[in-house]
Structure 1
Amino acid sequence: LPGKMKEVVLWSPEEVMNWLTENAVPEYCEPLKSFTGQDLINLTEEDFKKTPLSRVSSDSGQRLLHMIETLKMAHHIEAHKNGHINGHIRVSVSNTTRENGFSSKMKLNGMPNGYKKEMIKIPMPEPERSQYPMEWGKTFLAFIYALFCFIFTTVTISVVHERVPPKEVQPPLPDAFFDRFDRVQWAFSICEINGMILVGLWFVQWLLLKYKSIIGRRFFCIVGTLYLYRCITMYVTTLPVPGMHFKCSPKLFGDWESHLRRIMKLIAGGGLSITGSHNMCGDYLYSGHTVILTLTYLFIKEYSPRRLWWYHWLCWALSMVGMFCILLAHDHYTVDVVVAYYITTRLFWWYHTMANQQVLKEASQTNLLARVWWYKPFQYFEKNVQGIVPRSYHWPFPWPVLHRGRQVKYSRLVNDT
């Protein structure tokens, strides 16, 4: 084995842990805690199909295997040596008889040690293009799209509000949930508090993600599309208020200056009733609160380590309790919540299935998913992302500096012989 490989195979389990941490794959520290350097370089794809490694990463260990292959680069050099030592060709030296009858050693190329200078070209693999390019420009475009859809939603709510029939003229529609549960006044505040907690948890988690640009634009694309769909469903069918407790703000009857002030107030308050910004009616089918409660949970679960099961269950409970409180407050019909949950989960699963399968990023006769209207933007945002994005984390701030453990440095790839 070449010199570097000798050093790797002699690594202790502690040194293996340090190497995993320094290379931003700390999620493997627990399943590989007893592995030596020899065990590390012997890992194969089959090992990642079995527990516990199969539960660590969704990329089947491809990233870690690629890093291990880098450690094995010395094999590549060994295969190209072909009898060469330290970049020179060894030439055999024999005694030759000179004219005076005495034997002496020949000097080749003026070098008495018997080596001949000759440069050797060792083919090295070209640097690979990153599988997960950041492309922050695309993320910014996705953010602008989501922002536009949110603003358009507030405009639609203001327009639909003018069309809502008075509750005295058109009473609430029958609802099976309302028939079985009396209204709880404070329940909707619990829903919005749960939603703010989930949004806060997701934002902190997103900040710590290594590939936050890719994941961020996925979030913006999905949430923007969901709110765009909501604009359509709200506008085409205006439902009466779901309860007699609603106190809708007065109608403006074409006063566009007042419309604009009302829209700005709704945007500034984040569309939340708890902030006092949302007192309009008509935005029922489907529930925007359910969209946020569901989508934040799905992203939190998808991009956090599988071993944090307690964290997943906590976020799931916050989401479910929030949706139940929407209905308990009688602020949305049951169909509003059901439709919102269905559309949100399906769009999330469709998008990620397409993003994780390279063949689905290419339009073809057999790829029926390519017929959705947002397929071209999807291709633009995802075409350079190769494979499943790892759940990798790193500290994104310059302070405080976290302890990264003892570093192992190599001054040369091959030791002198």
Structure 2
Amino acid sequence: MEKVKSCPVETWTCEDVGNWLEEIGLEKFSDLFSKTHQIDGQVLLSLTEKDLREPPLQLNILGDIKRLSKHLRELKCQRLTNLPLSQNMHPGGISEGRKRLKERRLHSTSSNVSYREISKHESTESEDIDSASSARMYHQGMTQSYYTSNDITLELWKTILSFIYVFAVFMVTAFVMVVVHDRVPEMDKYPPLPDLFLDNMPYVPWAFDACELVGLILGTMWFVVLLFHRYRFVLMRRIFSLTGTIFLLRCVSMLITSLSVPGKHLQCRGKSYGDIYTKLERTFEIWKGMGMSLQGVRTCGDYMFSGHTSIITLLNFFITEYTPRKFYYIHIASWCLNFFGIFFLLAAHEHYSIDVFMAFYLSSRLFMYYHTLAYNRALLAPDAKRTRVWFPLFSFFESKGEGRVPNQFEVPLKHVGPCCQAMYAWVCSLRAPSNAGAPEDKENTKSSPSELMTNAG
């Protein structure tokens, strides 16, 4: 049996398979496997639990099936740990695309997960391949239930660029809002469009202020998360890039189609701001007030789609994504605020229902698409060129990102003290050469009177 153990499993003969069954205490199946069905090493590696249950083997005792399945998985693990990645992982063969996928998955994962993930794939041949692959990664200490980057590059300069990007987009959005105000349809000639929700919901005067208050609450919650999150600069980069992209889309949608005013209570008239300087002045007013009525900003024509809904939806998704799952009460509160904010916006008759629906849909989809790509970055290696073409901002901002950002928290600004000390030491080192001769000069100054006395004597 020692000779059999030293040989690769795929080279075993039918007799070797029988000896192996006797070794593991299942000698009653020795003749069935080695003589009746002529199962050698390669066939043994291709067996799955499904094969053991169904004809022609059709084992009847569940304990025997489970024990034999366990030993088969161990055999496959032993074989896989001695194989390079370029070789087939199963005698039956795996397609090249799937093999590359498993190699990328192997190299993009890190350690510290239990063996329980291995036993999930037992029913079919393909599932058994996944089980063996997971087993191999476990033995190498590289398996994880989800992808996590333990060495996240903060890339502060990209965070600054993303802030400049969203800053510029907000300025462009404010200018577009000035332009679309000039093109607002006349209320007497173009009444509000039929809307299923607005037609059945009475106007609530204070609802719009309540919607903006909800946005401020969500913004405060997100600020607290950023303040204590260890990877706050990564989170800032992501929310800046997503917000900028969504509002850039909003600029286009506002500009190409002008909808009639949704509420009769709104006093909206097409207003021409004259020359470009007057428009820029109004643009700065809208930007400074962040487009909020609480800041005294009133705009018309910016309907498709709702910027308020986009902001509160993004804040909700970022809060729930970057806080631990055990903070479920925060998640529930965030979702409730999100839906209440949407309800208040519609109750104020400030937007059509389609504006709100499209804003929620686009914001949530872009958030999920962005994070899906970020979390599976290693799986997109063969399509890197296509990703750069279709998602240029994502490819730039997440070029060194790899996997899920851990939700780890720390005391804010704890690095300020060491940074100040390092800066002080650097300043002192710059001043040191200029003051190097000072002690010597002082000593010379002290000794000069004695020298004078000596000379006088």
Change (3 A) 1:201 1:232: same
Counterpart Cα distance in 2 of 1:235 and 1:174: 22
Residues 94-142 of structure 1, C-alpha deviations (whole Å, 9 max, x = no match):
xxxxxxxxxxxxxxxxxxxxxxxxxxxxxxxxxxx96201110011001
Deviation at 1:300, TM superposition (A): 0.2
Number of the residue aligned with 1:198? 218
1:190 Cα shift? Answer: 0.6
CA distance in 1, matches of 2:113, 2:380: 28
Counterpart for residue 19 of structure 1: none
Aligned ranges 1:186-335 → 2 under 5 Å: 186-248=206-268, 251-277=271-297, 279-335=298-354
Shift of 1:164: 0.7
Aligned to 2:104: none
Change (3 A) 1:147 1:253: closer
Number of the residue aligned with 1:161 = 181
State the Cα distance separating 1:255 from its structure 2 match. 2.9
8 Å Cα contact 2:313-2:363 kept in structure 1: yes
What is the aligned partner in structure 2 of residue 340 from structure 1? 359
Structure 1 residues 175 and 399: CA distance shift in structure 2, 3 A:
same
Q: For 1:199-242, what per-residue CA distance to the aligned partner results, in whole angstroms no more than 9, with x for missing partners?
A: 11101111111111111111111000000000000000011110
Question: What letter is aligned with 1:297?
Answer: N
Change in CA separation of 1:368 and 1:304 when aligned onto 2, cut-off 3 Å: same
What is the Cα-based RMSD across aligned positions, in Å? 2.7
What is the CA–CA distance in structure 1 between the aligned matches of 2:277 and 2:163, rounded to whole Å?
Answer: 27
Give, in angstroms, the shift of residue 166 of structure 1.
Answer: 1.6
Map of 1:6-45 to 2, 5 A cutoff? 44-45=113-114
Cα distance in 2 for residues equivalent to 1:48 and 1:394: 31
Q: Residues 303, 185 of structure 1: CA spacing in aligned structure 2 closer, same or farther, 3 A cutoff? A: same
Structure 2 counterpart of 1:387, one-letter code: G
Identity %: 38
Structure 1 residues 308 and 287: alpha-carbon distance in aligned structure 2, compared to 1, 3 A threshold:
same
The residue type paired with residue 356 of structure 2 is V
Structure 2 spans left out of the alignment, 5+ residues: 1-110, 120-140, 142-148, 418-457
Runs of 4+ in 1 over 6 A off after TM superposition: 47-50
How far has the Cα of 1:354 moved from its partner? 0.4
Structure 1 residue 361 displacement after superposition: 4.6
Report how far residue 377 of structure 1 moved: 2.6
The one-letter code matched in structure 1 to 2:299 is M
- Once the 2 structures are TM-superposed, how far is the Cα of residue 193 of structure 1 from its aligned partner? 0.1
User: How far off its partner does 1:261 sit?
Assistant: 1.9
SS in 2 for 1:321: helix
Q: Which of these residues, 370, 378, 387, is aligned with residue 394 of structure 2?
A: 378
Q: Counterpart in 2 of 1:387?
A: 403
**Shift of residue 280, structure 1, vs aligned partner:** 2.0
Alignment of 1:55-74 (within 5 A): none
1:42-65 deviation line (CA, Å, top 9, x unaligned): 974336899xxxxxxxxxxxxxxx
Counterpart code for 2:183: R
1:177–1:334 contact (8 Å) kept in structure 2: yes
Opposite residue 45 of structure 1, the aligned amino acid is S
Structure number with the bigger relative contact order (C-alpha 8 A, sep ≥ 6) is 1
The structure with the larger Rg is 2
CA distance in 1, matches of 2:314, 2:304: 17
Structure 1 residue 159: Cα displacement: 0.4
Query: Aligned partners of 2:211, 2:118: CA distance in 1, in Å?
Result: 40
SS in 2 for 1:274: helix
- Secondary structure (helix, strand or coil) at the match of 2:294 reads coil
CA distance in structure 2 between the partners assigned to 1:253 and 1:265 by the alignment = 13
Contact 2:187/2:269 (8 A) holds in 1: no
Match of 2:293, SS?
Answer: coil
Q: What's the counterpart of residue 191 of structure 2? A: 171
What's the TM-score, normalizing by structure 1? Answer: 0.63
TM-superposed CA distance for 1:378, in Å, is 1.5
CA contact (8 A) 2:177 2:301 kept: yes
- Whether 1:46 and 2:46 are equivalent positions in the alignment is no
Mapped partners of 1:234, 1:162: distance in 2: 12
Q: Distance in 1 between matches of 2:414 and 2:224?
A: 16
More helix by share: 2
- The match for 1:133 is 153
Structure 2 letter corresponding to 1:200? T
Residue correspondences, number: 280
Partners of 1:191 and 1:283 in 2: CA distance: 17
Q: Name 2:201's counterpart in structure 1.
A: 181
Distance 2:278 2:150 in 1: 51
Contact 2:184 2:268 in 1 (8 A): no
